[in-house]
Amino acid sequence: MGKSKVLVVGGTGYIGRRIVKACLAQGHETYVVQRPELGLQIEKLQMLLSFKKQGAHLVEASFSDHQSLVDAVKKVDVVISAISGVHFRTHCITLQLKLVHAIKEAGNVKRFLPSEFGLDPARMGDALEPGRVTFEDKMAVRKAIEEANIPFTYISANLFAGYFAGSLSQMGSFVPPRDKVHLFGDGTLKAVFLDEDDVATYTVKAIDDPRTLNKTLYLRPPENILSQAELIGIWEKLIGKELEKTYIPPEGFLTTLKGLDYKLQVGIGHFYHIFYEGCLTNFEIGEEGEEASKLYPEVNYTRMDEYLKIYV
């Protein structure tokens, strides 16, 4: 069998642009949705044109035009959605319900990967308000996919390094501190950090793999399963300096959270589950899932000591 043709929706976004590049690098005939609503967003247009230069096909389609979505979907075997689910930027997760309807009508798609790429929403039923809305929206999309009998793979990519590793998981910055650092609780609960390019590589490897059909693919490369304290230790070694540490108890974190505006509460509320409950690593992967680094040991994923060197 040849490699699947792939349509990427949200291909100019933070993870989407990496998925487009990974599709091309792995030899897939790649289509990228170009939405007429782009208007005057010149950076996104130029990114789309750069994909075209690299061999991708641009397909005009809009969430406000059902037939255009159906026509786009009919060109491919696999659809990967990477539309934004980050509240402090744009939160568009439920727009995917329109994409699900188009995929169902088209009837030709062998695999759909909705926009998830973070915590597994199926495990977040007890998440704090208002942050739980992220997981509820993703579960609504999953429900629609499964009710439509669309073959799927869900990607649980844990923590993007750009957001959580480069900052040492500090709130309000994406660069590592050089003097003082805050730790959540005692900083010892394990999380999982992924270079975004590796997220894209693992994602695209899964699309033609029968082992990931109708399953969740968890990205847990073993050397990147680290506590916040271990991550800080890596940075301290790189800069040759010990940082002054402040430990934030859970009740202090929750009090601070209540004082933030809604969009920040949604995103930062997830920190509680990650660093005070250890929600990324406090379970074993069952029959419903697979682990990416075991399926694809040939991927030489970026370790966090290597990742952090660019910040020195």
Of all residues in the chain, the percent with pLDDT exceeding 70 is: 97
* Average pLDDT score over the chain: 95
Catalytic annotation, pick one of 138, 190, 294, 309: 138
pTM of the model: 0.96
CA 116 to chain centre: 6
Q: List Cβ neighbours of 245 (8 Å cut-off, separation of 6 or more).
A: 180, 181, 182, 183, 187, 232
Joined tokens for residue 152: 């799927």
What ranges in 187-242 are assigned the alpha helix state H? Answer: 196-206, 228-239
Q: How much is the pLDDT for 2? A: 84
Radius of gyration (C-alpha) of the chain in whole angstroms: 20
pLDDT digits (tens, 9 = 90+) for 245-262: 999 999 999 998 888 888
Q: What are 296's two structure tokens?
A: 């694809």
Residue 26's nearest CA partner among 60, 2, 58 is: 2
Q: What tokens does 239 get?
A: 């800069």
Token pair of 21 as six digits: 């590049």
**CA–CA dist 137, 143 (Å, integer):** 10
Give the torsion through C-alpha atoms of 143, 149, 151, 157, to 10 deg. 0
Beta bridge partner(s), residue 290 = 217
**Each residue's pLDDT tens digit, 63-88:** 999 999 999 999 999 999 999 866 55
The answer to whether the Cα torsion of 109, 1, 156, 301 is positive or negative is negative
For residue 126 the two structure tokens come to 């007890």
- Give the tens place of pLDDT for each residue, 42-62: 999 999 999 999 999 999 999
Element of type H or E holding 164: helix 161-164
pLDDT of residue 259: 84
Smallest CA-to-CA distance from 163 within 269, 45, 31, 14 is with 14
User: Tens digit of pLDDT for each residue in 105-138?
Assistant: 999 999 999 999 999 999 999 999 989 999 999 9
Contact 153, 115 (CB under 8 A): no
Phi, psi at residue 247, to the nearest 5°? -100, 125
Active site residue 215: no
Are the C-beta atoms of residues 117 and 155 closer than 8 Å to each other?
yes
Q: How large a percentage of the chain has pLDDT more than 90?
A: 89
Conformation bin of residue 137: beta by default, left when phi > 0, alpha when psi is -120 to 50: alpha
